[in-house]
């Protein structure tokens, strides 16, 4: 049983490691989106400022604004999807940690049972040796 528990613990740790890597990738992707959103907002503000001063730029901004708005919408959708995946992954990771703790607890309980059984065998062996010595003397 101990071998099976060790295998389960290794598998659980591997799943945790995979989930942590996946979580790091999602967090990095969300950070990249946030950075791109901030850059886009700055770009839009700059384009608006230029459009206010220049008639030609106003005409160009008319074509730019819908594309920028679409890009903002797409980034927001992607971020919302990633936020959902991140939340689900954090829940899965939490459950995996709980399962690992259960397995580790079972392993500790089994080790304790094995230790107690070994102590009982040693005590029985000592009792048997003492009984044999007493029988020889008596």
Decide: 20 and 93 in contact? Cβ < 8 Å: yes
Per-residue model confidence as pLDDT tens digits over 62-87: 899 999 999 999 999 999 999 999 99
Single pTM value for the model: 0.74
Name the residue with tokens 């089994």.
Answer: 110
Whether 104 shows a pLDDT value over 90: the answer reads yes
Decide: 30 and 86 in contact? Cβ < 8 Å: yes
């Amino acid at each position: 049983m101990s071998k099976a528990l060790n295998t389960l613990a290794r598998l659980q740790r591997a799943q945790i490691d995979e989930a942590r890597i996946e979580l790091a990738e999602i967090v990095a992707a969300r950070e990249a989106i946030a950075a791109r959103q901030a850059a886009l907002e700055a770009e839009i503000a700059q384009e608006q400022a230029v459009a206010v001063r220049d008639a030609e730029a106003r005409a160009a901004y008319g074509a730019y604004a819908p594309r920028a708005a679409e890009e903002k919408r797409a980034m927001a959708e992607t971020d919302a999807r990633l936020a959902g995946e991140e939340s689900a992954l954090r829940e899965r990771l939490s459950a995996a940690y709980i399962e690992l703790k259960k397995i580790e607890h079972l392993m500790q309980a089994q080790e304790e049972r094995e230790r107690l059984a070994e102590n009982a065998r040693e005590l029985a062996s000592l009792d048997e040796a003492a009984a044999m010595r007493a029988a020889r003397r008596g």
